[in-house]
Structure 1
Amino acid sequence: MEQSLLTSSLQNISFGIVLQIIVRVITFLSNACVLRYISPDALGLMNVRLLLLESTILFVSREAFRKSTLDDVRNHNWPLVINLIWITLPISVLISVVLGHVWLDMLEAPPPHLQSQYVTGVWVMALSCIIESTCEAPLLVANAFLFNKLKVALNLLHIGLRTLVFLPLVLCSPSNSVHAFSAAQAVGTLTLVLGYYGYFYHYLRTPHKGFPFKSIRDFLPRFDLQQWIHRPLAWLTWSLFKTMAVKQLLTEGERYVMTISGVLSLTQQGVYETVNNLGTLPARLLFRPIEESCYFYFAQLFRRGEQVSKLNKDHMEEASKLLFYAMRCTVVFGLTVMAFGFSYSRLLLFLYGGESLATDTGTVLLRAHCTVILFLAINGITEAFGQSAMSKEQLSWYNYSMVLLSVAFLVISWALTYLLGGLGFILANCCNMATRICCSLKFMYELYDGSKWQPLKGLLPGPLIVTALAVSFLITNFSESLYFDENKLVHLMIGACCGLFSVAVFFYEEKELFKIICAKLGIDKRFAHEKDD
């Protein structure tokens, strides 16, 4: 079963990465089309204010429930777990109403020509979050039973329809861009909810052995149970909520500071957010699906608070290998982004938004983001592991540490942004990530202390790939100074050659890793079978 779990988790990572690449390509192309038509004020309103409202509502109402209900799914009492996950709906309604009024009555009003669109956008975003919370039960089942293809298909449909609605509306009427954004959000949310329920309605028409759900009614809450909810998971949800509330504050801290304090105007927020979306693109493409799948995998194998020496040795051997290589790959990826990002930030901004975006300010911001990627790479894996294996007492200690860190982060963000503008947010993020990494590494060191496994060595990349990236950094910097103004294509081709060289070096140095991946995904067997045929 554990081998099947690891294979499915690796498959889930692969699907997640492919999905993120497709989604980001679609988003990149659509944004490149509309950036020249939308005013910076409208851009700041949509990408900062409204998306911050959405992420806050969804986080408070569901994120801790999602994490806790994925703990040890093999032993779930599913009716109680389904009841627990449905608590997200009333929480979502309450939070949506409260934050909707906060966003409208307590934050700085947008320009007059955007005021009516802003009001509509706030309530459509709140209603969309409430509707989305109604599909938490089928989404939990899809995650727990590894319906990986379903999740990919529905997310693609969600993003695709949202883009197909938003793009033509904006191009036809740029002055109503916030209305277009709201309409696209509503269509995408309805598609996602109907997609999950529609799939499982069809799936459950045929009985499936070992699947604990018999009809779509089983996804709805039941009130005829002796015990209404799963109490241990409810307490775990509360513990995780405190941890993740701080994480949300740290992750979205710059947006909260921008929105509440007003240190940047809506126009400046629009420019910063555009560059930020590009700078954090690698994190969304790779790190998030890897982090989610690793959390699910580790949560099934570890028992909270127990030393690895007391757990199944075969399971721990497999888990330590995955942790080692996950950290090795993400660190190398972060270093790669740093090595090439410095020389290609200006070119990417030029291709994305034209000369108006590829200014010195935008280039400096994007180069700084490339440094943040390395911190994000390490933090994602270490936090996912820590949250899946910490005891309740350790989670409480971690919560306390994160609260102190949040306060320090917000103060530092405000101070640095006041002095340095948007660059201050990025520098504050680096400090924030470095501290969070230290907290997680402390837990991991104590957990593995005295055991024969040393997954923390995965943080040290091999000497060959480090040398290859250092050489690539020097070559591409020289190429930018020589060719960027006169021949951007030559500069791009030089970077492509250096990139292929670095990938080849990594493949050569990490042969064992790729053999393991091929074996777990069955690629080597399929290849051998095709060769025999």
Structure 2
Amino acid sequence: MSSSSPQSQSLLSKSLASASSLVLLQLFSRLFTFALNQTLVRLVSPQVFGTAAIQFELLLSTILFLSREGVRNALLRAQPTSHSGNKSHSEEEKTANANADATLIANISLLPVLLGIPTTLLTTLLYIGSSSSQTSSQSHFRLSVILYAFSAFLELLSEPLYIRAQNELRFDVRVKAEGKAVVAKTATTFLVLAATRGGEEWALVAFASGQVVYAAVLFGEFGRVYYGNGMSWLLQKVKVDVHGNTQTKYFDTALLHLSGAMTGQSVIKHFLTEGDKFLVSRLSPLADQGGYAIASNYGSLVARILFQPIEETSRVFFSKTLTPGSDTTSIPREALETASSILLTLLLLFTHLFLLLLTFAPPYLPFAISILLPWRYHATSAPSILQTYVYYIPMMAFNGVLEAFFASTATPTDLRVQSRWMLLFSVGFVGAAVGFSQHLGLGDAGLVWANVANLLVRAIYAWVFVLRFFQSRDAGKMVQWKKIVPPPGVMVCFALTGVVTRWSWIGNVRSGVPLTIRGQMGHVVVGVVCVVGCLSACVVLERRTFQQLFAALRKR
């Protein structure tokens, strides 16, 4: 990375800083939420928890994803536009053009709010009309749905401000806003439940109230920073000079078309991302939906703390580094080297994560489940679902960063081709979900296995795109799959420790050792020693890789 330009290094520095900030935000918010959920799942029934955490969260994510995802991703690639062929602009003309660019981007950033109005109304009415009698008969169901819909639209109002903060690389604004919002949400939910003494009657309203407070605090914090600071909530006309001709327009045409393509694709992508929740909300009883929800919360805790910030930061970094402007072949060599190095380093780290989970999760999950999972959820699908997260979490990581690269560099033509493949993946996902859960008898765990298969084929598609992207720029050697595979010595170490930990677990099972901290202490000590051994092998045998990574980090 020594050959990287100062601009690339500055962007890398800011991206690394944002990644660390977002990881800390996710660590704080998820652990805080996890601690609260440990209390909430003991106060409410699996039926209520399943409705709030599966169905209401699905309603919320559908409104937000369809309204903002395409615009958000497109505007990350916004670059200054040259409005005239005359290169001898005065400072006043340059300032005017810069202001025009900013206004055109601001106009597009208002589209999620405009899209959110019909999306919120239609999605909410469709959900209420299609809800089963078992779901809709719960106390204050319609009021809770309306509150969730209102919170979704309220959150969309902060989207133009969020986009502005992202494009200005002001990640501190987002970290503070989301951090305060999470605290307010969890405190509100708990206080409403406590005020009603944990009664079932107001449980759904408690979750809905927490979500409204979250959206209100988020909007308030972004507004506190940007309100009155050149922010307008109305579309503004812009006069631009194009080759000597003055034109009046509201939107940058290229960004608008890209936003439209990405928004259209978001419908399919949302189904693939949330397909398991769609199916479990329709196929499973409410109690099992609660089990699925709590298993998802536990199983994806690491993914949300670590992978979500990495994916979001990668999307920002790749968008700014690899957006060439009008000439699609004009990406500097240094930018390609930096981007490939970051991408391969992340994939290598995720490979190590997969090895750690595959080695240590199966022999220690039963013990962890017995301690963390409330007793009333042991009779649901939660234990079997958690077993599948050993494979689901790494697939989320691989797919997340590869699709971040795709979203950052794909042209509208690439997006249209991917959309056709996504349709095929959707059909395959539904077939796999029904086959795994119904015909193979895997139950709700079959939905997670279908998701693993879905993420795998999507990751392969994105990896093929990465290879073509670099090969078309005579940089194919920068991205070789061998660079994301640990050396044989590391693989052997993980294999041996996998045998040792499973031998220790089988011995405890045969001896009838109870699933308590005291009873399993010897098994835990074996695991700690093996983890230390594996990590030591990684450091010793992959010293050069780590040295290169630390050298890049020191350049911050």
Question: Normalising by structure 1, what TM-score?
Answer: 0.89
Separation in 2 of the partners of 1:145 and 1:86? 17
Task: Map residues 229-308 of structure 1 onto 2, 5 A cutoff.
Answer: 229-259=251-281, 262-303=282-323
The Cα shift of 1:68 comes to 0.3
- Counterparts in 2 of 1:308 and 1:479: CA distance versus 1, 3 Å: farther
Instruction: Give the letter for the 2:133 counterpart.
Output: A
Match of 2:343 in 1: 323
Is it true that 1:88 corresponds to 2:120 in the alignment? Answer: no
Asked if the contact 1:324–1:457 (Cα under 8 Å) also holds between the matched residues in 2, the reply is no
Identity %: 22
Instruction: Give the letter for the 1:117 counterpart.
Output: H
Match of 2:233 in 1: 220
- Counterparts in 2 of 1:199 and 1:455: CA distance versus 1, 3 Å: farther
Match of 2:455 in 1: 433
Match of 1:124 in 2: 147
Is it true that 1:181 corresponds to 2:204 in the alignment? Answer: no
Separation in 1 of the partners of 2:380 and 2:150? 40
- Counterparts in 2 of 1:39 and 1:189: CA distance versus 1, 3 Å: same
Separation in 1 of the partners of 2:378 and 2:285? 20
- 145-154 vs 52-61, greater mean Cα deviation: 145-154
- Counterparts in 2 of 1:189 and 1:112: CA distance versus 1, 3 Å: closer
- 18-27 vs 48-57, greater mean Cα deviation: 18-27
**RMSD, matched Cα:** 2.5
Q: Deviations along 1:32-68, whole A, 9 cap, x unmatched?
A: 1121221111011001110000000000110111100
Asked if the contact 2:78–2:105 (Cα under 8 Å) also holds between the matched residues in 1, the reply is no
Task: Map residues 514-525 of structure 1 onto 2, 5 A cutoff.
Answer: 514-522=546-554
Separation in 2 of the partners of 1:513 and 1:173? 52
- Counterparts in 2 of 1:308 and 1:80: CA distance versus 1, 3 Å: closer
Match of 2:411 in 1: 391
Q: Deviations along 1:252-285, whole A, 9 cap, x unmatched?
A: 00111223xx321111111122112222222212
Is it true that 1:337 corresponds to 2:357 in the alignment? Answer: yes
Separation in 1 of the partners of 2:343 and 2:468? 15
Separation in 1 of the partners of 2:18 and 2:136? 46
Match of 1:102 in 2: 126
- Counterparts in 2 of 1:183 and 1:362: CA distance versus 1, 3 Å: closer
- Counterparts in 2 of 1:242 and 1:276: CA distance versus 1, 3 Å: same
The Cα shift of 1:230 comes to 1.8
Asked if the contact 2:51–2:135 (Cα under 8 Å) also holds between the matched residues in 1, the reply is no
Separation in 2 of the partners of 1:165 and 1:360? 28
Asked if the contact 2:236–2:250 (Cα under 8 Å) also holds between the matched residues in 1, the reply is yes
Separation in 1 of the partners of 2:24 and 2:502? 30
Match of 2:537 in 1: 505
Separation in 2 of the partners of 1:311 and 1:169? 54
- 90-99 vs 409-418, greater mean Cα deviation: 409-418
Partner of 1:278, secondary structure, is helix
- Counterparts in 2 of 1:517 and 1:390: CA distance versus 1, 3 Å: same
Partner of 1:218, secondary structure, is coil
Is it true that 1:155 corresponds to 2:178 in the alignment? Answer: yes
One of 418, 423, 431 as aligned partner of 1:411:
431
The Cα shift of 1:224 comes to 3.6
Instruction: Give the letter for the 2:152 counterpart.
Output: C
- Counterparts in 2 of 1:384 and 1:463: CA distance versus 1, 3 Å: same
- 349-358 vs 414-423, greater mean Cα deviation: 349-358
The Cα shift of 1:521 comes to 4.2
- 511-520 vs 441-450, greater mean Cα deviation: 511-520
Match of 1:38 in 2: 44
Separation in 1 of the partners of 2:313 and 2:505? 38
Instruction: Give the letter for the 2:528 counterpart.
Output: A
The Cα shift of 1:104 comes to 1.1
One of 522, 525, 536 as aligned partner of 1:493:
525
Instruction: Give the letter for the 1:178 counterpart.
Output: L
Match of 1:444 in 2: 466
Asked if the contact 1:82–1:221 (Cα under 8 Å) also holds between the matched residues in 2, the reply is no
One of 10, 14, 34 as aligned partner of 2:16:
10
Instruction: Give the letter for the 1:132 counterpart.
Output: E
Separation in 1 of the partners of 2:271 and 2:549? 35
Separation in 2 of the partners of 1:458 and 1:239? 33
Separation in 1 of the partners of 2:328 and 2:60? 39
Asked if the contact 1:17–1:285 (Cα under 8 Å) also holds between the matched residues in 2, the reply is yes
Is it true that 1:197 corresponds to 2:223 in the alignment? Answer: yes
Asked if the contact 2:319–2:408 (Cα under 8 Å) also holds between the matched residues in 1, the reply is yes
Match of 1:70 in 2: 76
The Cα shift of 1:498 comes to 2.4
Asked if the contact 2:77–2:323 (Cα under 8 Å) also holds between the matched residues in 1, the reply is no
- Counterparts in 2 of 1:190 and 1:181: CA distance versus 1, 3 Å: same
Match of 1:465 in 2: 490
Match of 1:206 in 2: none
Q: Deviations along 1:388-440, whole A, 9 cap, x unmatched?
A: 12222122111110111112212331333223211210221122122112211
Match of 2:91 in 1: none
Partner of 1:71, secondary structure, is coil
Larger Rg, first or second structure (1 or 2):
2
Instruction: Give the letter for the 1:185 counterpart.
Output: Q
Separation in 2 of the partners of 1:241 and 1:470? 44
Is it true that 1:143 corresponds to 2:166 in the alignment? Answer: yes
Is it true that 1:54 corresponds to 2:67 in the alignment? Answer: no
Partner of 2:173, secondary structure, is helix
- 53-62 vs 29-38, greater mean Cα deviation: 29-38
- Counterparts in 2 of 1:305 and 1:108: CA distance versus 1, 3 Å: farther
Separation in 2 of the partners of 1:396 and 1:112? 38
Instruction: Give the letter for the 1:218 counterpart.
Output: M
Instruction: Give the letter for the 2:61 counterpart.
Output: S
Asked if the contact 2:43–2:198 (Cα under 8 Å) also holds between the matched residues in 1, the reply is no
The Cα shift of 1:478 comes to 2.6
* Structure 2 segments unaligned to the other structure (5+ residues): 1-6, 82-97, 239-247
Partner of 2:140, secondary structure, is helix
Asked if the contact 2:288–2:381 (Cα under 8 Å) also holds between the matched residues in 1, the reply is no
Q: Deviations along 1:273-327, whole A, 9 cap, x unmatched?
A: 2112222222212221111111111112224799997531111111111111011
Question: Normalising by structure 2, what TM-score?
Answer: 0.85
Give the count of matched residue pairs: 508
Separation in 2 of the partners of 1:34 and 1:19? 22
